[in-house]
Amino acid sequence: MSLFDHKVSELQALLHKKEINVSDLVDASFKRISEVDGKVQAFLTLDEEQARLKAVALDEKLGKEEGSLFGMPIGIKDNIVTKNLRTTCASKILENFDPIYNATVMDKLHKADTITIGKLNMDEFAMGSSNENSGFQKTFNPWNLETVPGGSSGASATSVAAGEVPFSLGSDTGGSIRQPASFCGVVGMKPTYGLVSRYGLVAFASSLDQIGPITNTVEDNAALLGAIAGHDRMDSTSANVSIPDYASALTGDVKGMKIAVPKEYLGEGVSPEAKQSVLDALKVLENLGAEWEEVSLPHSKYALATYYLLSSSEASANLSRFDGVRYGYRTPDAENLIDMYKKTRAEGFGDEVKRRIMLGTFALSSGYYDAYYKKAQKVRTLIKKDFDDVLAKYDVIVGPTTPTPAFKIGENTSDPMTMYANDILTIPMNLAGVPAISVPCGFAAGLPLGLQIIGKHFDESSVYRAAHAFEQATDFHKQKPQL
């Protein structure tokens, strides 16, 4: 049994009794990486020297350790800024970028005495649903190396599913934590917009991006979210709300909980296996004392178009800073300033990033702004109202995380619209800003399926309560890929 088959609370107990030390955990992480990362290709950069030095320092504190994450190794998605540790966003345009400051979440993790193992691969600038858009390498799904791990936080999910680290951080703009969590059979949470600071998260779409935890269990997820959540004066969109003890919600008791099931989430395009896994999950929750009813989120059908207009518009503005002047890649053969801008961006960005910059620039351009961007913002308001109306009457909303299990590598690369449709069930929550979690709920052709549980703004506790009760009543989370 691997050390990382234990829950974080169990590892904490072993540390407290001095049956293991922090160096053992770090050794286990790097040993597993050496064994399997050649197959799954999750890590872009390892921080082995600093990780081992910190482990030795924390070993001196054993017996006096504090906090629920003490000594835990963690992987970090490569769009989260890490001081003196290369941060590339999996893009050639940032391939040699070594930041001089930390993202707020990194400072919080250091305060919690976690140990950063390294930086994880991703779709370039978080734009993608399969991890095939990285500028450096593809990441593979540990359940089947011929399939994608999801994206853009595919490697964050892979590293946990493959047992390389007990947990990781990802970012979620339109499903980029939950979709890979579903494909890789792990737990992924997109918190309420504003709960976790975005300071130091390289921006894709600022009104949609959120950092969140990917873990093996709901309990571990709640512990990690508790460590990174909270108000940050460095982020103007950070919400000044009190952070509850999420662990106190993990009672296993959902008696009287009211669950809404949108008919749109079990309709056309959702595979029979995904639909059946949700219906089976609802039976489990019903047997535990919850009650559910079918509802409608009528504007969901517009979410995909709304999301790609808004996110691409924000991306075109956010990515304008990568121009070869201040940092990052600069073309070596420019004849003048304009030529330098053009060649730097043409050579530094990948095709998917260019596609979205062009779409966003078009939507924001004179004569098209009202027809596209402004209209999309109005539809976003309607989508949010749908959620507000349903969540006024119900505790949580439940549906599948993805319409299908993981697809084969290369299957959708030539068809952007099919690739975009993979996020159809996760995008509406980002537009509405509500929290949502994916937990393992079944298998199709040997590949994991995810159950998505959605809550009210800043009510992660109810989401965790339902997710934990379902997890405890099933054993999907105990099944591991055989690499």
pLDDT tens figures, 240-287: 999 999 999 999 999 999 999 999 999 888 999 999 999 999 999 999
Query: What pLDDT was estimated at residue 380?
Result: 98
Query: What pLDDT was estimated at residue 64?
Result: 85
Please indicate, yes or no, if residue 353 is contained in any of the structural domains: no
Structural domains counted in the chain: 1
Please indicate, yes or no, if residue 387 is contained in any of the structural domains: no
Exposure string of 392-431, with b = 16+ CB inside 10 Å and e = fewer, is: eebbbbbbbbbbbbbbebebbbeebeebbbbbbbbbbbbb
Q: Rounded to two decimals, what is the model's pTM?
A: 0.97
Strand 43-46 relative to strand 396-400, pairing:
unpaired
Query: What pLDDT was estimated at residue 427?
Result: 97
Please indicate, yes or no, if residue 327 is contained in any of the structural domains: no
Mean pLDDT, range 178-196, rounded to an integer? 98
Please indicate, yes or no, if residue 77 is contained in any of the structural domains: yes
Q: In the sheet that 210-215 helps form, which strands lie side by side, from edge to edge? A: 43-46, 115-120, 73-77, 167-172, 210-215, 187-190, 436-444, 447-454, 396-400, 258-262, 291-295
Query: What pLDDT was estimated at residue 24?
Result: 98
Query: What pLDDT was estimated at residue 422?
Result: 80
pLDDT tens figures, 289-341: 999 999 999 999 999 999 999 999 999 999 999 999 988 999 999 999 999 99
**pLDDT at 416 > cutoff 80:** no
Please indicate, yes or no, if residue 442 is contained in any of the structural domains: no
pLDDT band at 413; cut points 50, 70, 90: confident
- Chain mean pLDDT for the chain: 96
Hey, what are 300's tokens? 């969901």
Mean pLDDT, range 207-223, rounded to an integer? 98
Please indicate, yes or no, if residue 230 is contained in any of the structural domains: yes
pLDDT band at 72; cut points 50, 70, 90: very high
**pLDDT at 408 > cutoff 80:** yes
- Domain of 144? 3-253
Please indicate, yes or no, if residue 74 is contained in any of the structural domains: yes
Distance CA 360, CA 372 (A): 10
CATH code of the domain covering residue 63: 3.90.1300.10
- Which amino acids are annotated catalytic? 77, 152, 176
Query: What pLDDT was estimated at residue 8?
Result: 96
Distance CA 372, CA 369 (A): 6
Query: What pLDDT was estimated at residue 66?
Result: 80
Residue 414 DSSP SS3: coil
Please indicate, yes or no, if residue 52 is contained in any of the structural domains: yes
pLDDT tens figures, 82-119: 999 999 999 999 999 999 999 999 999 999 999 999 99
**pLDDT at 417 > cutoff 80:** no
Distance CA 57, CA 221 (A): 26
pLDDT band at 420; cut points 50, 70, 90: confident
